Structure 1
C-alpha cells in the first residue's frame, strides 16, 4: 500500500485518512480474533 503525503491545509482530511486506516487495521485484527474464537468454539463443541 502506498501512503500519500498529507498536503498542508488538509489536516482534517489527512486525519480522516488516518482514522480510516486505523479502523481497517482494527477490523482486520477483530476478524482474526473472531476466526480464532470460532475455531476454538468448534473444537470445544466436538467434545
Structure 2
C-alpha cells in the first residue's frame, strides 16, 4: 500500500516534467503545420 502511494506520488511529481515538453512539441508541430498549410494555400491561389 505504501509502495503504491510512493509510486503515485512520484508519478504525480514527474507528470508536469513529462507533460510540458510534450505539450510544447505538440503546439510547435501544430503551428508549423498551420504555417505550411497557409504557405501552400498562398502558392496555389497566386
State the TM-score, normalized to the length of structure 2.
Answer: 0.67
Higher relative CO (Cα under 8 Å, sequence separation at least 6) belongs to 1
User: Which structure 1 residue ranges, 5 or more long, are not aligned?
Assistant: 1-8
State the TM-score, normalized to the length of structure 1.
Answer: 0.66
Aligned pair count reads 38
Q: Which has the larger radius of gyration?
A: 2
User: Which structure 2 residue ranges, 5 or more long, are not aligned?
Assistant: 1-8
Q: Which has the higher helix share?
A: 2
- CA-atom RMSD in angstroms: 1.3
